[in-house]
Structure 1
Amino acid sequence: MMEKIQRFGSAMLAPVLIFAFAGLAVGIAIICKNADLLGPIAAEGTGWYKFWSVWESGAWTVFNQMELLFVLGLPIALAKKAQARAVLEAGMVYLTFNYFVGTILSFWGPNFNIDFEQDISESAAGTGLKMIAGIKTLDTGIFGAIIISALVVWLHNRYFEKKLPDFLGIFQGTQFIYGLGFFLMMPIALLFCWLWPFAQQGIAGLQGVFMGSGIFGVWLYTFLERILIPTGLHHFIYTPFVFGPAVTPNGITKDWVASLSEFSRSTQPLSELFPGGGFALHGNSKVFAPIGIAAAFYTTARPEKKKETLALLIPVCLTAILIGITEPLEFTFLFVAPPLFAAHAVLAATMAATMYAFGLRGNMGGGLIDMLFQNWIPLWGNHHNTYLLQILIGLVFTFLYFLIFRFLILKFDFKTPGREEIGKDTKLYTKAEYREAKKNGTLHNERDGSVAAPAAAATTAAAEGASFDDPYSQRAHDFLALLGGAENITDVNNCATRLRVSVSDPSLVAGEADFKSSGALGLVNKGKALQVIVGMDVPQVRDRFEAMVNSGK
């Protein structure tokens, strides 16, 4: 069950990652249309203003069609076969569902206590209705989108390859799934018309609860968002707040970006302008913590390994600070010193809660680039005092991270990067070094010193002659061999940096050192559920890996 929940949580990452560029694009447009910043060139009616208005209209696509994004994104990770067809099926079934809902409410809206005749052309907030792909329907948000998409994926995985009688052959595959979805959506649409208004009332009540939770609520939210990263369940923590209606009608991401122009002209405190923005401050730990953590690792490393440690830490720190992907850094120490990760979660939560207490609000779930273009630059003129205080608090916590991590590392002798036992290398091995070690029989598991699993080694050796033109295929090929071959793979998925794989026989899986030798950053081994830490190019590796699994079977 936990494996299925993790798979579902990581599936949400595919659509979520698109918001990073979309938010950046909207932020740039708002900055470029701000006459206070750029002068007369940005005045309404100029060619400059018109160009950036066109730009902004396109940049809003992701936010305006958020439901479709999740409907189309989930099948990419959740469908076990023919993912492209699953995306098509999910899109068509979701639109069918909304047509059903809209038509039902147009006839019987009063029976469900819904005024379907109200005008929502300007704003749907508070009406319970929304325009989705030109369809006037219930505003079920991303929750409705996820539910419908998940149902379609279930139908797809179960019935896509079902053989029908020859005279019905034209209805096999995608046609069969859409047909099943069509018949299923009518009762589900009726069910939504009946139950969803009650859910909307409950959500409105929860908004008040969360908003009233104050500093402790922000602390708890941020703590859970960090501490659950190893399980993959942190997606379920931030999604209702950032993309759903937990504290704002359309989610913090959309409502914050939509208000940037207004906020940039206002001198009211951010805490009054956007009170719900305290639940999107978790990105501050991504910007201010890495330097303190890296400094602690570097200063406690063995003298002869400091240079190697620094080379390892610089890229993962830059990744965390600039774009907010912290997993490469966090997984660097998570599995050798779990108490450090617990300390990290507590410090991250305390940092966000402290900033909230001093009036900071905003959409700061990403890295420094998000902070610049969605917060600091557009709003600096009237809110620079708040941001200067944020930076000061962040730097104080950078120093606290350094002191606390350094103390814990030395106190408990944690084997963080650069402190490994003598003879163990800190750097990642090259492919050539791996093959040489393989020939010499010197590959060992870094954690327990055991020789790599014989079956996995045999599989790797049998396939060793293969070569590829791109690094993605090479790593996918090597990882597949180290996981026991295609027949040993039962499920494949990925999140931001990890290739998640389920296997039939865990004994066929090689040790962590073997995976590092083949280009992985690490391995999380939980029996039949494994996570190969690949890095930011995991989607490309996963595509090639899955193709090799399917062809191998």
Structure 2
Amino acid sequence: MSTSTAEPVRRRAGLAGLQRLGRSLMLPIAVLPAAGLLLRLGQDDLLGGVEALKQPAAVLAAAGGALFDHLPMIFAVGIAIGWARRSDGSTALAALVGYLVMDGVFTALSPVLLPGVLDSKGEQATIDFGVLGGIVAGLVAALLWQRFHRTTLPTFLGFFNGRRLVPILTAVSMMVIASVMSLVYPVFNAGLTGLGTVVGENAVVGGGIFGLVNRLLLPIGLHHIVNNVVWFLIGDYQGVHGDLQRFFQGDPTAGTFMTGFFPIMMFALPAAALAIWHEARPERRKLVGGIMVSVALTSFVTGITEPLEYAFVYVAWPLYLIHAVLTGTSLALVNALDIHSGFAFSAGAIDYVLNFGQSTRPLWLIPIGLAYAVVYYVLFRFVIRRWNLRTPGREDDETTGTETTPATVTAATTESAGTTGAAGDTDTAGRADR
């Protein structure tokens, strides 16, 4: 194979690997809605404020808090199951073993590498890579499982054949890897702290860039990787890291990378769906309208936007670029106005209402969202008409005389989602997906 031919192959393989990682992240992220719901219901401004329900509320809060506290372990198990092809329970066991070994190594080396450093409770600080450590443990377990789960050892070691060998190899491997990670932790922690400080000092620019990049990466399924950095790693509040986790622990400054999605997903994208409906050809408008109303309601209520975004991301990519830029401006604007909110699932009405009491100036999101809805509606209609974009309901007539039916319109609307299934983005179940 020539060098010119090998280079594109390597690039495609690298992209496929990143997409696979993005898909694997979906499984542990699916835990977040349950964790966020339980934790919020148990707070004093909800069930915890009712005297007769204080004890049940404490149970709910403790249950949700336990999931957040052990999020790295959940990521380790989830990544291992999601990454390894034809994985089974032994993959999850290997990941758990690897994570526990890593955690033990971190605890043992913390006094040596972090002498005199105390945590928020005044105790010896512990090396903590957060969910990144869980991701590493999960990937190592998955890779070892794929390579060795069918290995046959000599007869006298036959008990450890195949799947029983993988947890042992994972434990040994993670002991070495965790030792190396411990050595670089001071640099890692300083870099992450510095990045969090920079973003915190200029949340307008940081939030805006994240909003833009998040939407641009969605069609190829890589946005989950960026999401995990800002939602679970950047920033610190009483020993808790990441924008999402800090929000649910009561950090009043959290929400930099979440709040700006509410105006877009609750108002702007439904307005875009309305524009697409109104620009459909008269004979197709009724069919397209039913579909657009459905995906618009889904976006507003739950914050699941892929069914709508995939309706125009490929067939009308200029609209998607406009959408990405405007999403960035939304995050920048709400940060400039010092509005803070968050979500455990996505930026829909359910999370907006549920987390209203814990948010800062959340009512402002409604007029901002309505303003963005007007901008989206006007821009989408203008661009669709100006460049005659083939959004749903504006496709060229079939020369074969095929009758237009709801099924054919639905197929046209969701064609892009089907073609990008390999990127893992069509699986929207149970995630803080934004």
**TM-score with structure 1 setting the length:** 0.68
Q: In the alignment, which residue of structure 1 is the partner of 2:349?
A: 368
Q: In the alignment, which residue of structure 2 is the partner of 1:434?
A: none
Which is greater in Rg?
A: 1
Structure 1 residue 366 displacement after superposition? 2.8
CA distance in 2, matches of 1:418, 1:27: 42
- Cα pair distance change 1:362/1:200, threshold 3 Å: same
* 1:522–1:533 Cα contact (<8 Å) kept: no
Q: Write the mapping of 1:35-46 to structure 2, written as runs, cut at 5 A.
A: 35=49, 42=50, 46=51
Structure 1 residue 396 displacement after superposition? 0.3
Q: Write the mapping of 1:385-424 to structure 2, written as runs, cut at 5 A.
A: 386-423=361-398
* 1:278–1:361 Cα contact (<8 Å) kept: yes
Q: In the alignment, which residue of structure 1 is the partner of 2:114?
A: 113
Structure 1 residue 348 displacement after superposition? 1.1
The equivalent position to 1:198 in structure 2, one of 187, 206, 209, is 187
Determine helix, strand or coil for the equivalent of 1:416: coil
Q: In the alignment, which residue of structure 1 is the partner of 2:68?
A: 63
Question: Is 1:78 aligned with 2:83?
Answer: yes
Letter paired with 2:407? L
Q: Write the mapping of 1:252-267 to structure 2, written as runs, cut at 5 A.
A: 252-259=243-250
Q: In the alignment, which residue of structure 1 is the partner of 2:10?
A: none
Q: In the alignment, which residue of structure 2 is the partner of 1:303?
A: 282
Letter paired with 1:366? A
CA distance in 2, matches of 1:344, 1:240: 23
Determine helix, strand or coil for the equivalent of 1:278: coil
Structure 1 residue 196 displacement after superposition? 1.0
Determine helix, strand or coil for the equivalent of 2:310: helix
Q: Write the mapping of 1:23-422 to structure 2, written as runs, cut at 5 A.
A: 23-30=36-43, 31-33=45-47, 35=49, 42=50, 46-105=51-110, 109-110=111-112, 112-115=113-116, 122=121, 128-129=125-126, 138-246=127-235, 249-259=240-250, 273-274=252-253, 276-284=254-262, 285-364=264-343, 365-374=346-355, 376-379=356-359, 383=360, 386-422=361-397
* 1:15–1:73 Cα contact (<8 Å) kept: yes
Alignment deviations for residues 63-94 of structure 1 (CA, whole Å, 9 cap, x no partner):
11111110111122100123332111101121
* 1:71–1:149 Cα contact (<8 Å) kept: yes
Structure 1 residue 342 displacement after superposition? 0.4
CA distance in 2, matches of 1:215, 1:532: 30
Alignment deviations for residues 36-72 of structure 1 (CA, whole Å, 9 cap, x no partner):
xxxxxx2xxx432112111221122221111111011
Structure 1 residue 167 displacement after superposition? 2.6
* 1:428–1:521 Cα contact (<8 Å) kept: no
* 2:19–2:424 Cα contact (<8 Å) kept: no
Q: Percent identity?
A: 25
* 2:243–2:256 Cα contact (<8 Å) kept: no
Determine helix, strand or coil for the equivalent of 1:49: helix
Determine helix, strand or coil for the equivalent of 1:80: coil
Structure 1 residue 187 displacement after superposition? 2.2
CA distance in 2, matches of 1:48, 1:182: 44
CA distance in 1, matches of 2:179, 2:138: 17
Determine helix, strand or coil for the equivalent of 1:415: coil
Structure number with the higher strand fraction is 1
**TM-score with structure 2 setting the length:** 0.86
Letter paired with 2:257? F
CA distance in 2, matches of 1:532, 1:143: 20
Structure 1 residue 252 displacement after superposition? 1.6
Question: Is 1:17 aligned with 2:17?
Answer: no
* 2:310–2:414 Cα contact (<8 Å) kept: no
Q: In the alignment, which residue of structure 2 is the partner of 1:462?
A: none
Letter paired with 1:252? D
RMSD: 2.8
Structure 1 residue 192 displacement after superposition? 2.5
For structure 2, the residue ranges without an aligned partner over 5 or more in a row are 1-13
Structure 1 residue 344 displacement after superposition? 0.5
CA distance in 2, matches of 1:336, 1:426: 20
- Cα pair distance change 1:224/1:294, threshold 3 Å: same
- Cα pair distance change 1:355/1:83, threshold 3 Å: same
Structure 1 residue 532 displacement after superposition? 8.7
Alignment deviations for residues 506-551 of structure 1 (CA, whole Å, 9 cap, x no partner):
xxxxxxx9xx49x97545558xx95698665799xxxxxxxxxxxx
* 1:240–1:246 Cα contact (<8 Å) kept: no
Alignment deviations for residues 228-272 of structure 1 (CA, whole Å, 9 cap, x no partner):
101111112221111223566411222111117xxxxxxxxxxxx
CA distance in 1, matches of 2:114, 2:35: 36
CA distance in 1, matches of 2:31, 2:424: 23
